[in-house]
Structures are given as C-alpha cells and as structure tokens.
Structure 1
C-alpha cells in the first residue's frame, strides 16, 4: 500500500482515528466505486443488479444499499455449481488472481475464495493493524498455531504479523509437545490459535512439567471460535498463560473483520475495508446500536472475490462511540454472540452454546472440556428438545456437588433444564482446530 506504516507508535493506520463524519464519507465514496466495479466485473452481481433495476451510479446514501438482495452461502455455492470450479462471483481476470483458499466443506463441497496481489497486501495490512493494536512490535517472536492445511487463518496471520515486524514461527496446529518446547526455547512472546487449542496447549505444557503461567508468552490472539469475548473463557486462558488474551474475528470471505485492541472492549470493525449492517434476522431491517442482529458485510476494498451484503449468520451487537484506546471504528460488544444456525431452541428459550460455556468455565472444578448433547431422551412427543445433556470433565478434587451446581446455574441463569454427566479428565477428545461441542442425537 502507498501509505507508510505504522502511522504512530499507537496506531498502525491514520484511518483508525478518522472522525465518524469523515469515516462515513469515505465509506460512501468507496462503496460507490466498489459497486460500480462489482456490477461491471462479477457475473453474479451484474445479473443481480439488473434483476432489481439497481444502477451503482445512482447510490446516494447507505440506505440505498437495502435495495440489493442479501448474498448467502447457498447463493455462492450454487454459483460454483453453475460455473465450476471458479463460480460467478470472481471479478478479476484470472491472470491477476494470486491466491485461492477454500471453505471448510462441512456442510457442502468446499467453495473457493480469491485474492489478487493488492488483496493479499490489504489482507496482511489489516492483520498487522490488529496485531499493532494489541501491542505487537518489531522484534517480538510470534508463533502461529492456526493450521495451514487448506485453512485461511495460518497464512493470513503469518503475513500480517510479519508486516507488523514480528519474528514469525509458522508452526501450525499439530505436534503439540513440540509447540510447547518451541515456546520456551525461542522465547515466544505472542501465540495465536483457537481458544480450544490454547487451553489444550496449557494442559500439555503442564504434563511436560512446564508452568504455562511463567512462560515467555505475553499476548494471545484467538479466533475461529467464540472464546476471548466469553468472559470466563478469556479469564481462564489469561490465568493459565499469565498473558493477555485478545479476540480476533474473521472469515474466509472477509478474513479480518474485527480485532480487540489493548482495551479489550470488543473487536473493532475494520470499517474502511467492509461496510457493516446489523439487521434483524426475521425482517432484514437495520437494528439500532446496542441491539442484537445478524452481521451483514459489503467489501469496500476487494478485487478478486468481492461480496455485497454478505449474510455472515453471526449474531452481534455494535457500538460506535470512540473507544478508550482512541479508535473511532465501531466495536462488536461481547464479540460474536453465536451463529444464528448454532442457536438452540429449548422449550421456547433461545440458547447460544457460548452462554453455557460461560457458566461452565466460571465454575471451579472442571478441566474446560465439555460437550452439549441435544436430542436423545430429552425430547417431547413431537421430537422437540426439552432440555440439554452436558458432559463435563471434572478434576479429581472437584466438589462432590459439581453436577448439581452446574445444573442449577443453567436453570437459574438460562432457564433451561440440564442433565450433567461428570467425566474423568482426558475423556473427551481435544482439538487443535475448531472444537465440535454441540452433538445432535436423534429423538428417542
């Protein structure tokens, strides 16, 4: 990028401090340019704009964006099926594309996403901005524990922390014991990975005779799962490592969406990279700041795989007052509260797994590993859940009434019946990537 970075010792980019008026003015101008580009170069959006009679040149305000349809994952997958293997969203000539990453493919065939050289530079710069806001500085040792196999996180984190000046060890998410030894051997000051892996890594360190709280690690960036924005999970990771734990939120489609700063008051949106709408999941209408809704994003600066009104499915709540750190970009209070399709409905009560995690990890006597089981015997005649079963690993010195205490807390705080099964430590499988903590069983 043309701008010199860092902008100052505190801010990576001056755009982080733009006034709200200037930020929104720049967003609207960028949105007009981006929609004109997309409408001219993306097969999918050229057709979509024509179907609703939308002319990007006629965009006058952010409200005009609501005239365009939402873009959902099913739309993207269908476009790839129509024109395999690239699909209809790619907007840059093939000779300008430099990178392809893929979705996980857990619910459908993996779908590709694309980057030009300029996109890759912007991606790294956005990552560096987040790292800088968390206190990362040149010469510090960074060990990346995100996987590099097909997953988008590892290469993005490595490029970003390198751009911020860190000494990078691209370790990946395997060989947990070697990871621990490397932290102590090379004096690793910053690590990143999923919250599940951070907990597992500390557990492994203890088994190897290390005290993780006395390690050289001072900063931990976590992503891929709710974690650092769940107070009890953040507290647990910070206590285990004697380090600050920061939330980072991204996706295949938008990579870096939001980052905790050192104030840890909720991930800052990168509002000069993507325009954010928070909408009611039922009506699609914008909700006021402070209310929960689904995050919808539109690229303002993407060439190869730009998206317009992308339905993330993530439930969030936004605030746009200036943060204590001085940054003016909006924040996602409490991070991602959950995915709309992850929400459980138990006897009419909306239950996010993250709320259960908060109660488990704020209760002493557990190893941090648990599973939520829905269905099975806890269903009514119509096959609908009447409660949840919890499998929770208990420490050897856990209180005898731990199961009753957890069950009571969930009933009191979440208004949901829970049957708790206590398991011995190391019963449940650990994950170095994204843990599967909700298990659906057939009614019976």
Structure 2
C-alpha cells in the first residue's frame, strides 16, 4: 500500500525524469521557467519592483538566460534592510498571507533572525526535491531514516523529514540532541539512513565508541551531511565513513534555497537542482561569470518559488562548477568539491587565500589527531603594525602517546601543503568544545 504522501519514482535509478534531461532541453526549461517567475515576481513583489523600476528593467526584457545579468545581485544586507523598513515581514512576501503555510528563520547569530516563507506548493516542491536527494543516494521505501538535523526554528529537520516521507522511508525525527537515545534508537530500530551536521555525526560516533558500541556495527549504510563542510572535505568524509562503516554524501542548502545541490552514489560533487534554481558562478569582486573549473561565488535565482522568491541572490559561498556528465547519467551540473568556503570566511595570509576547509583536510588526514581543531587568530600570527595575518595558529586535539614533536611536524605539513606559516598547539583529547549543530572553527582573539 502506498502512503498518500509517497510519490512513485520515475525509474529504479532516478526520482524524476528531469534529472537526465538533455542539456539543450534543460536550458529551454530553465528559460521558460525564469521568464514566468520574473513576471510573477514583478507583479507581486514590491521589493523587486522598486529595484527594477530604478533600473528601467521589465521582466519581459529577459529573452536569454544571460540577460539575467542585467540585474544586480541581492545580498542578505539588502534583505535585512527591507525587513527593518517594513517589519516584520518585509516587502518580498509575494503569496497572500493566508497562503503562507510555513516560516523558517535564520540562526540570528549575526543579527535579528530573518524569516523565509513557504506556500503549500513550495512545501510540496521542497519535499519532492529532498526525496530526489535521498533516492539518488540509494535510499528506498524499505529504509529506516533517522533525521539528526534540528527542528527548533532551523530549516533542515522538517525539510528532510518531509522529503524522506515522500520517498516512502520510515522516518524517525530524532533531532540534534539526546546523544544516548539517538544511539540506542539506531540499534533498536535498525536505522539504515541518517542525516545531520558533520559535527553531530562525529560526536555520536565518539560517544558510541566510548560506550563500547561503535556505530560501524549498526545497520546505518548511508549518511548525508550538511550545514557545514563535511563530505566535501575528502579527509573528513573518510573519517566519517571509517567510524560509521557507511557511505557519506555531501548535501548543500541554505535557508533561502532548499536544497541547492546533493551528491549521488558516485560521490563526485553535488548535483545542482537546475530545474528549481538557476545558478551563476561569478567573480566575487567583479560579479562577472567565471568559466567552469574556476572558483567563484554562487548566485541563485528561484525558478518556481511562490512565497518569498529571490532573484540573483548572493549566497556568499565559493564553489567550482563541473558541467560534464556524471557517471550516474544525470545531466545537471555539479559542484566539484562542494562548498570551498564562504567569501567572508576566507583568510588572507601574506597574500595566500586560505579557507578553513583546506586546513581541515590536513588535520583530518593526520594520524594521531581526533579530528577536532580550532584556528586561533591572535597576536602570535598577526603583524602588530598592519593587523595582517602572518600565519595561523592551529589548536588540535591529539590522542595519547603522540610523539613530542607532533606539533612541529603538523606545522610543517600545513606549511608544505598550504604555503602558510603555522603555529601548532597540540591539546589533550576532549579539550575542545563539541557542537551538535554547526561548529565554529575560526576564533579571533584580542
């Protein structure tokens, strides 16, 4: 018997036929959807209508996908300013208020939490895209899925729950707390698939091993991580897979766009959801497009969002696009290496651009560490006259019995691979704080 919320997949390999659309057909679909979406936004969004009026822009001016570049990018600061001027919802809620079915909020770590709305159709679309994610990773209706993303205010938990329900899996909405109960539940109910932040996934593995019940002995065979760098960092993926005895897949989304990209069973970079969002990769400074294979900032435009559509949204995430056909047969472009980092998280050390994910790669593949680390930016690695970084300080948890010269050898490895000076401070296992949500890896002291 099929649940009313379950949808039959297109085939035994693909959730939707659009995943394998020939590129020319996919671009035609995108252009038609974009033109329709712009007409809708122009008619219903006071936020965009005011911006477009200043430019003399009309939705009908877009006749090719490239024409979209006539519009400026829209940033989180623009969105927040609009919310402040028309509190509390702002002027970009394009659905009738009675048709808004769900509101999720940003974390609020850098200011007041900002709302994003979904209509009933938006929620159905979201669930279907999340189902596509799980299906591409081999999850089927006979699986038991335990969701380890948070549910309070956060966007990930309910989206994943709805998606895996739509896929037909048995869903256990665990959330991101109660460590012992999560582990017990996995063993008792035979959980086969999970998702959560890499921090919580590794925290569970550590806790289970400490109790003598390693999660590699559980039935879990598929893990999707998101919310912070994880599966996109090869050493972190290997670390998770070793401790769980399961395949680990990278998933990428944001509050404003759910989802953006996900890995298939090839584990060769997240597939962009190109029938839901039009993606541009641009130079962070000039905003001009960059060629495939070149790092750039990701700019996204909704193709069929009803409640709070966004046009040329500046994600701030640095990615590399690969448009070659994947071994799985899907034609949608991929993000090679996942999210390299955030434009505002990039460190500049004596002219070298450095993302925390690159440091994580070195740490997690170094024998003798627990994998936990913190990048500390203090007076030891800062020029007192200019304030510029002269290196990085790396505080790393180490296992018992590591050689006395461990710190100097790790510092040398960082310098050899990343070409920056490193001051390495080994600390005992259990010293650094653990997080069940998103772990902060960079701390500026002083």
Matched, 1:23 2:17: no
Q: Secondary structure at the match of 1:149?
A: coil
1:392 to 372, 393, 396: 396
CA change 1:267–1:347 in 2 (3 A) is same
**Alpha-carbon RMSD:** 1.3
1:75 CA displacement: 0.4
1:86 to 84, 89, 105: 89
Name the structure 2 match of 1:415.
419
Name the structure 1 match of 2:441.
437
Q: Output the CA distance in 1 between the equivalents of 2:292 and 2:16.
A: 25
Name the structure 2 match of 1:240.
243
1:398 CA displacement: 2.4
Report matched runs for 1:112-261 at 5 Å: 112-261=115-264
1:67 to 65, 70, 81: 70
Answer yes or no: is the 8 Å Cα contact 2:19–2:331 preserved in 1.
yes
Answer yes or no: is the 8 Å Cα contact 1:188–1:217 preserved in 2.
yes
1:57 CA displacement: 1.5
1:301 CA displacement: 0.9
TM-score, normalization by structure 1? 0.98
1:178 CA displacement: 1.0
Larger displacement relative to structure 2 (380-389 or 259-268): 380-389
Stretches of structure 1 that go unaligned for 5 or more consecutive residues are none
Answer yes or no: is the 8 Å Cα contact 2:7–2:167 preserved in 1.
no
Q: Deviations over 1:350-401 (max 9, x none)?
A: 1100000000001010111110001333211222221111111100132333
Q: Secondary structure at the match of 2:124?
A: helix
Q: Secondary structure at the match of 1:333?
A: strand
Matched, 1:273 2:273: no
1:90 CA displacement: 1.1
TM-score, normalization by structure 2? 0.97
Q: Secondary structure at the match of 1:108?
A: coil
Name the structure 1 match of 2:302.
299
- Alignment length, in residue pairs? 442
Q: Output the CA distance in 2 between the equivalents of 1:15 and 1:324.
A: 16
Answer yes or no: is the 8 Å Cα contact 2:5–2:166 preserved in 1.
no
Q: Secondary structure at the match of 2:381?
A: coil
Q: Output the CA distance in 2 between the equivalents of 1:268 and 1:5.
A: 21
Give structure 1 regions of 4+ aligned residues with deviation exceeding 6 angstroms.
none
Name the structure 2 match of 1:282.
285
Answer yes or no: is the 8 Å Cα contact 1:102–1:113 preserved in 2.
yes
Answer yes or no: is the 8 Å Cα contact 1:80–1:86 preserved in 2.
yes
Q: Output the CA distance in 2 between the equivalents of 1:327 and 1:39.
A: 33
Answer yes or no: is the 8 Å Cα contact 1:5–1:13 preserved in 2.
no
Q: Output the CA distance in 2 between the equivalents of 1:295 and 1:164.
A: 29
Name the structure 1 match of 2:98.
95
Matched, 1:404 2:408: yes
